[in-house]
């Protein structure tokens, strides 16, 4: 499974990129607004930091507007993936942008039927928001399983990009279910390698080594 970072914070992205484990980045209008950097400048810097797919979301709400913005965004860098919302207009735009050979990420997906439509329109990625479903008492990860089944049934190649990830358990379940990508906030990414028994074991090894006065 590929790991993307869900962030528009350049400090976080730089630190994440340095681990060598990051395959791409997703942003959304809320994250970009928080970054305090102009959209184009931000995208160019992210493209320099991470040599992989970088999702940049359109803000027009009608299909012609989304197509125009999507074409403009895709010209900024060959790694830009145009993110469009899962609305009727967004699906229309996805179909046209896909026909133009532009990579797309259909976002704000909350049901298997929505995911089916995104794939039918040629989306490169679909982004089911698991955390926001959990928030309203619906099992978010079940959606991932359902989408996998739908895509397998019809041989769709649209990649399942698990979004709205809130904790390492979401990441584990994504791996177990065979999701193609999980986009992970930086604070969750930093928790993935942590285990209290690893820390405890290492402290013990170091204490024993020191007590015996050994050197390499």
Q: Supply the residues annotated as catalytic.
A: 83
Q: Which stretch binds ligand G3P (CB under 6 A): 32-40, 42-50, 91-99, 125-133?
A: 125-133
Which residue number places its CB atom closest to ligand G3P?
164
Are 38 and 67 a contacting pair, CB within 8 Å? no
Based on CB atoms, which residue is closest to ligand G3P, 42 or 163? 163
14-23 residues labelled b (16+ CB within 10 A) or e (exposed): ebbbeeeebe
Among 29, 52, 65, 131, binds ligand G3P (CB under 6 A): 131
Q: How far is the CB of 135 from ligand G3P (least distance, A)?
A: 8
Per the CB < 8 A criterion, the answer to whether 104 and 77 are in contact is no
Please name which of 91, 41, 29, 43 lies closest in space to residue 66, comparing C-alpha atoms: 91
Min dist. Cβ of residue 216 to ligand G3P (A): 44
- Cβ proximity to ligand G3P: between 61 and 207 the closer is 61
Main-chain dihedrals φ then ψ at residue 107, nearest 5 degrees = -110, 170
User: Given the rule CB under 6 A, which of 63-71, 116-124, 126-134, 208-216 is the region that contacts ligand G3P?
Assistant: 126-134
79 binds ligand G3P (CB under 6 A): no
Sign of CA dihedral 43, 56, 159, 100: negative
Binding to ligand G3P by residue 114, rule CB under 6 A? Answer: no
Chain positions 142 to 201 lying near ligand G3P, rule: CB under 6 A, are: 163-164, 183
d(CA 213, CA 167): 41
DSSP helix/strand/coil, 82: strand
Nearer to ligand G3P, 6 or 12 (CB): 6
Of 132, 148, 177, 180, which one interacts with ligand G3P (CB under 6 A)? 132
At 65, list the tokens.
């507007």
Could you say whether residue 6 binds ligand G3P (CB under 6 A)?
yes
User: Smallest distance from the beta carbon of 55 to ligand G3P, in angstroms?
Assistant: 8
Name the one range near ligand G3P by CB under 6 A: 34-42, 127-135, 150-158, 200-208.
Answer: 127-135
Quickly tell me which residue has 């125009």 as its tokens: 68
Q: What does the alpha-carbon distance between residue 94 and residue 82 come to, in Å, rounded to a whole number?
A: 9
Contact criterion met (CB below 8 Å) for 123 and 158: yes
- Compute the distance between CA of residue 41 and CA of residue 89 in angstroms, rounded to an integer: 27
Q: What residue ranges bind ligand G3P (CB under 6 A)?
A: 6, 26, 28, 129, 131-132, 163-164, 183
């Amino acid at each position: 499974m590929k790991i993307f970072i869900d962030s528009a914070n350049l400090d976080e992205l730089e630190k994440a990129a340095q681990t060598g484990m990051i395959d791409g980045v997703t942003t959304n209008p809320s994250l970009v607004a928080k970054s305090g950097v102009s959209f184009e400048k931000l995208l160019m810097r992210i493209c320099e930091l991470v040599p992989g797919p970088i999702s940049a979301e359109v803000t027009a709400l009608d299909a012609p507007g989304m197509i125009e913005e999507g074409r403009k965004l895709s010209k900024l860098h060959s790694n830009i993936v145009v993110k469009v919302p899962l609305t009727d207009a967004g699906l229309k735009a996805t179909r046209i942008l896909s026909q133009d050979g532009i990579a797309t990420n259909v976002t704000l997906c909350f049901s298997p039927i929505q995911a089916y439509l995104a794939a039918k329109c040629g989306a490169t990625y679909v982004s089911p928001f698991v955390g926001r479903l959990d928030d309203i008492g619906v099992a978010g990860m079940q959606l991932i399983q359902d989408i996998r089944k739908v895509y397998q049934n019809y041989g769709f190649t649209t990649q399942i990009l698990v979004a709205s990830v809130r904790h390492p358990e979401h990441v584990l379940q994504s791996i177990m279910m065979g999701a193609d990508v999980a986009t992970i906030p930086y604070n969750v990414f930093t928790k993935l390698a942590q285990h209290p028994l690893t820390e405890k074991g290492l402290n013990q090894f170091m204490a024993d080594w020191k007590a015996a006065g050994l050197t390499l």
